[in-house]
């Protein structure tokens, strides 16, 4: 195991932020206790987590958990920058108090990931030149705000958004500066989109500062594609799962990461219906699987 890599788990397996009805009965305390029991040393932040940094730390520290990061939705392409800036500064300062070094940012302007009526594979947005310009300028400015606290933004390419494909990731990386904009590397979203995860990692490893490990079930992906289901439908049906449980071959991915100079968190983040996929069992399964390398 590489000493400069730490392992975290995302709370979305216990309670889903986009569909709070999934796991609504699972408590925050259950979530973080089962993460710790599964062998993780970090967590991202979900909607049931305390909003006060000191209170949150008082729950996490006895369980040996640190905060890896938390998701931030930007609307740089569709709203005035000042709106996003104000929300971002609050989010940045919250994560700073918790000791996090990276801030997960995903552009949600025209995103369909939260729209249960939009087919995931047929309604993906494509940014105009004007929207790309707003996105790039906005991200550069958010990156500078993060740098003020010695933090970095890591951009999350994501299914159902304007930055999903290899071509779009390439464009974003080309148009932004390494000083201000880093990349989050998500195995599940890359493979779901039809991209080559090894090629993406090798090309951008010097800009990757955060990693999400999720697996996919190809049979469910095919149903979502062929029957025009939405992203949320796909989640409920189980298109995502934890590493070692689905159809991605993680061995070369893990070996490539371990052979690189990557330092930071690897976060197991696989949203499923917890009434079907027991979060503790799946979290531990993933941790045991990763530990086998």
Work out the number of other CB atoms within 10 angstroms of the CB of residue 62. 11
Average pLDDT rounded to a whole number, residues 94-105: 98
- Express as a percent the part of the chain with pLDDT over 70: 99
The per-residue pLDDT for 2 is 56
Query: Range of 163's domain?
Result: 5-291
Q: Residue 127: pLDDT band by 50, 70, 90 thresholds?
A: very high
Bridge partners of 29?
none
The answer, yes or no, to whether residue 3 has pLDDT greater than 80, is no
Q: Where are the alpha helices (DSSP H) in the chain?
A: 28-37, 53-60, 81-97, 129-147, 166-175, 187-193, 197-204, 218-226, 231-237, 250-259, 279-291
Euclidean distance between CA atoms 109 and 161, whole angstroms? 8
Confidence check: pLDDT of 1 > 70: no
Nearest to 144 by CA among 97, 107, 92: 92
Average pLDDT across the chain, whole number: 97
Q: Which pLDDT belongs to residue 151?
A: 99
CA distance 165 to 189: 9
Q: Check which CATH number belongs to the domain holding 33 and give it.
A: 3.20.20.150
pLDDT at 284 over 60: yes
Are the C-beta atoms of residues 239 and 208 closer than 8 Å to each other? no
Q: What is the pLDDT of residues 198-245, one digit of tens each?
A: 999 999 999 999 999 999 999 999 999 999 999 999 999 999 999 999
242-268 pLDDT, tens digit per residue, is 999 999 999 999 999 999 999 999 999
Query: CA triplet 237, 164, 75: central angle to 5 degrees?
Result: 100
- State how many domains the chain has: 1
């Amino acid at each position: 195991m590489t000493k400069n890599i730490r392992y975290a788990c995302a709370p979305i397996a216990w309670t889903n932020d986009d569909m709070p009805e999934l796991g609504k009965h699972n408590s925050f305390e259950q979530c973080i206790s089962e993460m710790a029991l599964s062998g993780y040393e970090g967590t991202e932040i979900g909607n049931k987590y305390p909003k006060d940094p000191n209170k949150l730390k008082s729950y996490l520290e006895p369980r040996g958990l640190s905060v890896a990061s938390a998701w931030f939705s930007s609307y740089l392409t569709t709203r005035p920058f000042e709106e996003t800036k104000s929300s971002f500064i609050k989010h940045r300062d919250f994560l700073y108090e918790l000791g996090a070094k990276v801030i997960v940012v995903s552009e949600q302007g025209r995103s369909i990931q939260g729209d249960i009526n939009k087919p995931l594979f047929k309604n993906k947005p494509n940014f105009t030149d004007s929207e790309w310009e707003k996105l790039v300028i906005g991200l550069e400015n958010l990156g500078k705000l993060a740098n003020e606290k010695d933090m970095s933004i890591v951009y999350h390419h994501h299914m159902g958004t304007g930055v999903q494909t290899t071509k779009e990731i390439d464009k974003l990386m080309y148009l932004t500066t390494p000083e201000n904009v880093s990349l989050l590397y998500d195995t599940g979203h890359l493979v779901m989109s039809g991209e080559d995860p090894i090629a993406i990692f090798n090309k951008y490893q010097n800009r990757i500062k955060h990693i999400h490990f999720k697996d996919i079930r190809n049979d469910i992906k095919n149903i979502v594609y062929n029957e025009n289901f939405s992203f949320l439908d796909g989640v409920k049906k189980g298109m995502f799962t934890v590493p070692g449980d689905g159809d991605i071959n993680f061995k070369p991915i893990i070996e490539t990461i371990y052979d690189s100079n990557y330092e930071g968190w690897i976060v197991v983040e696989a949203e499923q219906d917890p009434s079907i996929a027991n979060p503790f069992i799946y979290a531990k399964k993933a941790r045991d699987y990763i530990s086998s390398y």
